[in-house]
């Protein structure tokens, strides 16, 4: 899949920095305050991811680009299921495992030539939607 949206390299690099280079590292520490704020699993996860991001705006931008390619996924509920959040996977380590598994098995979506795991783009999309809400 390709998109007319031109991903800015800066955004990719910022996302990379946010994801600790190796993608989602295990054992993401989340402040209790963020947990208290979280009203649902989706927003909880979005909040946790946001805490780890150097530039949440960049991730949000990628999320928006992904949703332009995949309008069928344009709902927090859908993304939550796709990310396994409905099955209780709210800790970042489980999502990180999913992200790695995507990369291994070629479940990759291309934005302007860059290949991202579906999981990371869905997270970005979730971020975008929760930002917008």
Q: CA 107 to CA 44: how far, in whole Å? A: 25
CB of 68 to another protein, least distance (A): 18
Provide the minimum distance between the beta carbon of 2 and another protein in the complex, in angstroms, as a whole number. 8
In whole angstroms, what is the distance from residue 65 CA to residue 119 CA?
A: 14
Instruction: Give CA–CA dist 58/49, Å, rounded.
Output: 13
User: Cα(8)–Cα(10) distance, rounded to whole angstroms?
Assistant: 5
Q: Which is nearer to another protein, 58 or 130 (CB)?
A: 58
> Based on CB atoms, which residue is closest to another protein, 4 or 106?
106
CB of 13 to another protein, least distance (A): 5
Tell me the C-alpha distance between 87 and 7, whole Å: 32
Binding site residues, another protein, CB under 8 A: 9, 12-13, 16-17, 20-23, 100, 103-104, 106, 108, 110, 112-117
Return the DSSP state at 21.
S
Rank residues 43 and 99 by Cβ distance to another protein and give the closer one. 99
CB 45 → another protein: shortest distance, Å?
21
> Is residue 108 helix, strand or coil?
strand
Choose between 88 and 106: whose C-beta lies nearer to another protein: 106
């Amino acid at each position: 899949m390709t998109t007319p949206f031109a991903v800015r390299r800066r955004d990719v690099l910022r996302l990379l920095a946010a994801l600790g280079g190796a993608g989602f590292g295990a054992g993401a520490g989340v402040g209790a305050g963020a947990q208290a704020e979280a009203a649902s699993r989706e927003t909880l996860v979005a909040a946790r991811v946001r805490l780890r991001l150097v530039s949440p705006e960049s991730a949000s931008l990628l999320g928006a680009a992904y949703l332009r390619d995949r309008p069928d996924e344009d709902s927090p509920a859908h993304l939550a299921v796709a990310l396994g959040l409905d099955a209780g996977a709210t800790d970042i380590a489980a999502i990180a495992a999913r992200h790695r598994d995507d990369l291994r098995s070629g479940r990759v979506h291309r934005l302007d030539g860059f290949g991202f795991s579906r999981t990371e783009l869905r997270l970005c999309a979730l971020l975008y939607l929760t930002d917008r809400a």
